[in-house]
Structure 1
Amino acid sequence: MEAQRRRAWYPSIAVVLAVTDVLLILLGTRVGFPKLLVWVPAVAGPALAFAAFRGAGALTGGALRTFWRRLSLGMGTVVVAALSQAIDVSTTRYSGMPPIGARTLLLYVIGTVLAISAMLRLPGGGRSWRQLTTAVLDVAVVAVTAGIAASQYVGWFIDRFGVSASAWWLNIAMMAIAVAGVVVVVKIMSARRSPVPRSALWWLAPVGLCGPLSTVLMSVLSPWPHLNGSAAVLPFVGMFGVLAAYAQRRAMTAGAGGAHPSRSLNPSAHRRGTAVPLVATGLTSVLLATVFVRTGHLTVVQVGGTALLLLLVVARQAVALADNATLLTTVAHQAMHDDLTGLFGRRYFTAAVAGARGPHTVVLIDLKEFRTLNDGLGPDAGDELLVAYASRLGGLAGDGTVVARLGGDEFGLLLAGTQSDVADRVVAANAEPLHAAGHEVLVDVSVGIAEGDAGDLYRRAELALREAMTGTGGSVIRYDASLERELTQRATIAADLRRGLTAGEFHMLYQPIVELPHGRLVGVEALVRWTRADGRVVSPADFIPIAEDTGLIVDLGAWIIDTVCAQAAAWQREHGPEALRSVAVNVSARQLLDPGLPDLVAGALAGHGVPAKLLTVEITETAVFGGGRALATVHALSELGVSLALDDFGTGHSSLGLLRTCPVDAIKVDKSFVDGLGGTPQQEAIVTALTGIAETMGLRTVAEGVETAEQAQRLFELGYRYAQGFLFARPLPPSAIDAMLQQNHHIAA
């Protein structure tokens, strides 16, 4: 950690060294100072880059670590070369251009070759033959452009320094450094995939210009012996190197070791490559125009190189256009097809439905419980299941049918004509299991069908599928006008529900829970009611499911919990803390998926001063049968100290194991079982069994829907001690419960 904190300062230090170098050069043209002064930032800059490269290697692994270590070896050699040149300058008498020995030149060349080797051995990712050809042509374009520029540079070099052995060695060293820059640029442009971040490669690119630039600066600064062209550029070599390593460090911190493969497949990555011929031809044009204006003619190398460059650019662009056409075809295919199954995608399917002429049939299919299967068997098995089902659909559909995966576990069929029997074939095929990751899986489906020649067949099929998925009308639903009316009604209720909640149109009624056999009030169940502003009463059976679907049940439930707690607190203040043993409130499956529900309940209890044990939260078996977040919420509620009751017990998944995994305190036996009392032993079997199970497990039992005295008597004989139903009272307003509590008080007195 300490080393990482130190490296965070490297970019700032490198910039300061570069700025210091510029200031020294500017000052050196005015006043004299020791020759070695300019070499302090010249050596410190590359040394800092060497340390930064080593640090980047330590942060990475694999090909990245190898790359940065090879690069650090090259930069370390440059540091040694800079020290060698500083020794040359300090031990040799000279006037004019500073000396540079053979040892120093050799070190510069070795460092450059090592850097080039690191770049060339950096993996660039797989390519198609067109992409490989484009990369080769890019290299050729840059090489020809560099050759044209090099011919002019060599001419200038000979005019300035002559053709001595030392001059030629210097020229070779500078050309090698320039080649390093060319290699970096070509690597950036041609690599389809690179583990090194593109930004890091771009920071390395200017390093190749420093060699030729140092030669130019040697000539410019020759009147001042204490200044040096190499010393002028080396701090910038260090700065660009440090910034490249910093780009790598930032990429690692962000969780991306380099160019992500998925990004490299983006078409824009290929379009950026067009900068190679544009930049090359632009620079060549500027260079040749400058030479022609100054000399009035062009050399054979320059003219021939320009002609070759134009041919390469034309060839490169031709290959790139062919590659782009292939890429566009691939993108168009991917846009219209599903990657996993190979079927058509939603976009193609909706377009095909919209463009259909004449009678057609649209069938939408949803795999039931797919999420549970996917979670239980794993995502790989889930994918295999989808592929297997797609293959089954393709076999069922026949020729001329559009088969599509619309997303997730939803599929679609578009058939010519009216073919209602296709749904029967789809359902019948599910009798055969599908094979997925070594498992044999039976799938069940919900199917929505719409037939006709109207343009909104897809929407109609969606309505039918939505109805089928609710499970109230069967697993196969065919669209008819009643679905449209129901949708309109549901939309109206949903809009009014939100408005009514804001306007205070909801109120609570409380149905008594009594103790058998005498019928004394011991608790209440809170029931929400809605009376619209126009006086019309909306049944809970109509608005509760809509509140569930729209998510408004969360807001409505929060209001109910707060209102019930406030009323419970009022009853306690009025009639004493022991007046009621339980005030029950129903919580829906959607509310149990809200992780904030326990905090909401805790806040309502604390806000109104209600003891947790007084509140009973009623849940259904179906809501918690699958476990997961809902069951975790139930455990959190139990930890608050509130009581938990399983409502409508026996009508849901009915797993007795649920009584062990779910921390319930009571079970409420559904009315459908109470109605069987007084009949045959078989009709009374469940009611009889449940009281025995509850007694053994220490649970309270409450019988719901008691309507006759005979039922109440029989329940008492079977061991039931609590009941509710119309025999005792219908749901009542708080004032009526007040009166019953007052009556209890008088009886007790």
Structure 2
Amino acid sequence: MTRTASLPRWRSWFVPFAALMAVAEVVMIVAGTHIGFHRLLVWIPAVCGVATAVTAFAATARGATGPLRLFWQRVAVAMSAVLIGAVSQTADIAFVPFDGMPPLGSRALLCYVIGTLLAIIALLRLPGGGRSWRQLTTAVLDLAVVGVTAGVAASEYLGWAVGKFGGRASTWWLNLAMVAIGVAGVTVVVKIMSARRSPAARTALWWLAPIGIAGPLSVILMTAFLPWPHLNGSAAVLAFVGLFGVLAGHAQQRAYTGRGAPSSRVAHPVVYRRGAAIPLVATGLTSLLVGTVYLRTGHLTTIQVAGTTLLLLLVVTRQAFALGENATLLETVARQAMHDELTGLYSRRPFVTAAAGAESPHTVVLIDLKDFRSINDSLGPVAGDALLTEYAARLTRIAGGDAVVARLGGDEFGLLLPGTAEETAATVDRLAAAGDEPLSAAGHEVVVEVSIGIADGIDMYRRAEIALREAGTHTDARVVRWDVSLQRHLNQRATVAADLRRALTAGEFHMVYQPVVALPHGLITGVESLIRWTRADGRTISPAEFVPVAEETGLIVELGEWIVDTVCAQAAQWRRRHGADVLDSIGVNVSARQLLDPGLPEMVAAALARHGLPAEQLTVEITETAVFGGGRALASVQALSELGVHIALDDFGTGHSSLGLLRTCPVDVIKVDKSFVDGLNGTPHQEAIAGAIADIAEKMDLGTVAEGVETPEQARRLFELGYRRAQGFLFARPMSAAAIDELLDPGIGIAA
């Protein structure tokens, strides 16, 4: 069995049981001042409490790794020595006759001292993290403050002990041991203050600190319990030593289980911050002690006066250094607020401020890394961060020392370049050309395409954003410089966006349907629905003009809901009028933005149920690009497929990784893009591609539809290559629902 397996596991009863032992000890002490009972009775909760602490420390060590595990193992060994000492002292009480002060044998005293020394070693061996010279000086002063306070208190305690017990050698050894135990508590406090970073939970260390006063307090309680020989000061404090030890282990356990989350068995380092509380508390306690002594005796000893004076000087010096450290900290915070943590570049706010205050000639260049999300998802966040860091270094190198370089968030960067437009054009050219050079990202060589927006003159940051948006919208333009036409285009799109919502409310949209026919006879088997917009003034707005605006503004979700409802209602009407099998399916196009809406599957299901349309008669047409990145979009497609809706991959062959999508996406139909149809009857290579697509679809049991068929020769050749359905101007242009009604009469077909 391994050493890890031999350690006990943390149990939920540790804390309640230790608390019960402490309460039982208090109850017996209070009752013992009124009634008598056997003198060993008070030792039962004391020994049980310490034994529970030993078990709790061992269980805490089991849940940790590295230095943290060693620390809790050492503390468990130290508490085991205390447990042996408690058992030894219990034996002394049971078998050694005494009158007055209860016996504390040399074996028990030696065990207590060994346990104390082991605890001090464990604390000193606990890593504390690095710090600056100013922080180190402040920590040393903190140590001195606590040390002087402890020295003044120890001198008062020893004076009281000598006066109470005399100057016998055994008395001196006893009280030196008690002072050593007190030093352990001081060491805990010192460790908390001096540690900048430590694997141990801060709360756990604070629970260990009160154990240090157990020794001196036990001697004081022994003298207080002299009238009741069945009570014992050591037993009284040992029960609480066990309770505080268990609470320390529980605090550490909560630190690496995240308040109830499954334990990762690793305690994450916590930053400890020192404040002025400890020096002020130390000064206050010393002042209270000295004041009490003076009121009681009328004079102070040399140690007390010198210690108090030294303490005040140390506190003043310490606070002066702390103020300097705070100033340095403020500078660090200010720098972090202005700089990106990952790349070290300026962040958005200072960059925008610099761009707004820059006088001509300056140029703002905004850069967006294309497909960064896909790279980050495929290679992992470590490679993604490395890629951003490498690209930041490239930007800094190309821009030069006079430029302001910033990471504006995510995969967007910004440059504020001095000089005229002609001077900055060369820098932009170098940026664009560098995009063809691979970057090293955690062992991967990655080529990143970029979109670049440029603007100068007034309001150049906002204008550069417009140019960058335009560059990202059009795949054929990597670099776009702002000009007045861009602003006009933006205003036009804003007008279209405003009109879209009004048009949807006013009912200006309507649907047309393009037949899908069977080859070779041309009978209609299905339709594809297409949206049209005719304004109240009679002007027709092209879908190419308003659909992208609807996607950008999010109105495509509301518009898409209207489309699905309208199409389902029309399909249900055709079923009632012409029979259930009149059409195999009716297609509706769904955009990438709609697929990102988690409510899409539920909306489609509601529309089908509302109009009584079977799910298999609805075909949702999507593009390869819409689902290429997977994630939410692919989940929506899978949910739609589970409803029974057919999925068609539109414009097949023009997007990303088409063959891979056939494996990962639940596709039922492939709609072959018009560009492949146009190549028929041309070179053998062009026909080979169209034929290969048909073969793949047949072997994967997928349907095929050839789009954009315009000539009888194309129709015949498609049939020879294995295509059995087609659509295009050869058969019919998009038409109204009433026109489709006429085509659905039995026996009527569309000539090919």
Q: Which of the numbers 308, 316, 320 marks the counterpart of 2:318? A: 316
> 1: distance between equivalents of 2:266 and 2:95?
45
Q: Which of the numbers 68, 74, 78 marks the counterpart of 1:70? A: 74
> 1: distance between equivalents of 2:359 and 2:91?
88
For residues 192-207 of structure 1, the aligned pairs below 5 Å read: 192-207=196-211
Question: Does 2:23 align with 1:19?
Answer: yes
> 2: distance between equivalents of 1:572 and 1:524?
13
Deviation at 1:471, TM superposition (A): 1.6
Q: Which of the numbers 433, 441, 450 marks the counterpart of 1:445? A: 450
For residues 201-220 of structure 1, the aligned pairs below 5 Å read: 201-220=205-224
Question: Does 2:268 align with 1:260?
Answer: yes
Question: Does 2:364 align with 1:362?
Answer: yes
TM-score, normalised with respect to structure 1: 0.87
> 1: distance between equivalents of 2:706 and 2:549?
28
Q: 1:256 to 1:319 in 2, by over 3 A?
A: farther
Deviation at 1:46, TM superposition (A): 1.1
For residues 419-568 of structure 1, the aligned pairs below 5 Å read: 419-420=421-422, 421=425, 422-436=427-441, 440-452=445-457, 454=458, 456-471=459-474, 474-491=477-494, 493-494=496-497, 497=500, 507-516=510-519, 519-529=522-532, 539-568=542-571
> 2: distance between equivalents of 1:499 and 1:245?
65
Match of 1:590 in 2: 593
Match of 1:621 in 2: 624
> 1: distance between equivalents of 2:722 and 2:268?
68
Question: Does 2:281 align with 1:276?
Answer: no
Match of 2:256, SS state, is helix
Q: Which moved more, 1:598-607 or 1:577-586?
A: 598-607
Q: Deviations over 1:462-510 (max 9, x none)?
A: 1110110112671111112343344344445556656766887755443
> 2: distance between equivalents of 1:657 and 1:643?
19
> 2: distance between equivalents of 1:257 and 1:201?
19
Contact residue 11 and residue 239 of structure 1 kept, 8 A: yes
Deviation at 1:234, TM superposition (A): 1.5
Q: Write the letter of the residue equivalent to 2:111.
A: L
Contact residue 646 and residue 667 of structure 1 kept, 8 A: yes
> 2: distance between equivalents of 1:17 and 1:722?
84
Contact residue 188 and residue 209 of structure 2 kept, 8 A: yes
> 2: distance between equivalents of 1:23 and 1:484?
83
Q: Which moved more, 1:589-598 or 1:164-173?
A: 589-598
> 1: distance between equivalents of 2:438 and 2:345?
21
Deviation at 1:594, TM superposition (A): 5.4
Q: Write the letter of the residue equivalent to 2:268.
A: H
Contact residue 509 and residue 526 of structure 1 kept, 8 A: yes
> 2: distance between equivalents of 1:48 and 1:533?
83
For residues 19-58 of structure 1, the aligned pairs below 5 Å read: 19-58=23-62
Deviation at 1:193, TM superposition (A): 1.6
Question: Does 2:63 align with 1:59?
Answer: yes
Return 5+ residue gaps in structure 2 as ranges.
none
> 2: distance between equivalents of 1:598 and 1:121?
59
Q: Deviations over 1:51-71 (max 9, x none)?
A: 211221222222222222221
Deviation at 1:350, TM superposition (A): 1.6
Q: 1:670 to 1:116 in 2, by over 3 A?
A: closer
Match of 1:464, SS state, is helix
> 1: distance between equivalents of 2:159 and 2:663?
92
Match of 2:705 in 1: 702
Q: Write the letter of the residue equivalent to 1:371.
A: R
Q: 1:493 to 1:725 in 2, by over 3 A?
A: same
Match of 2:132 in 1: 128
> 2: distance between equivalents of 1:144 and 1:123?
25
Deviation at 1:565, TM superposition (A): 3.6
Contact residue 141 and residue 318 of structure 2 kept, 8 A: yes
Q: Write the letter of the residue equivalent to 1:470.
A: T
> 2: distance between equivalents of 1:26 and 1:186?
35
Q: Deviations over 1:641-675 (max 9, x none)?
A: 54333323454458567666655444334456667
Q: Deviations over 1:576-605 (max 9, x none)?
A: 221101211112223445566556656655
Q: Write the letter of the residue equivalent to 1:445.
A: V
Contact residue 293 and residue 299 of structure 2 kept, 8 A: yes
Deviation at 1:138, TM superposition (A): 1.6
Contact residue 652 and residue 658 of structure 2 kept, 8 A: no
Deviation at 1:314, TM superposition (A): 3.0
Q: Which of the numbers 331, 334, 337 marks the counterpart of 1:335? A: 337
Question: Does 2:116 align with 1:112?
Answer: yes
Q: Which moved more, 1:225-234 or 1:712-721?
A: 712-721
Match of 2:453, SS state, is strand
> 1: distance between equivalents of 2:620 and 2:432?
39
Deviation at 1:705, TM superposition (A): 4.4
Q: Deviations over 1:723-746 (max 9, x none)?
A: 434565554454543443245589
Q: Write the letter of the residue equivalent to 1:448.
A: G
Contact residue 523 and residue 748 of structure 2 kept, 8 A: no
Q: Deviations over 1:679-704 (max 9, x none)?
A: x835x974785256415642544344
Q: 1:451 to 1:250 in 2, by over 3 A?
A: same
Contact residue 248 and residue 258 of structure 1 kept, 8 A: no
Q: 1:501 to 1:746 in 2, by over 3 A?
A: closer
> 2: distance between equivalents of 1:152 and 1:218?
18
Return 5+ residue gaps in structure 1 as ranges.
none
TM-score, normalised with respect to structure 2: 0.87
Match of 1:681, SS state, is coil
Q: Which of the numbers 388, 392, 395 marks the counterpart of 1:393? A: 395
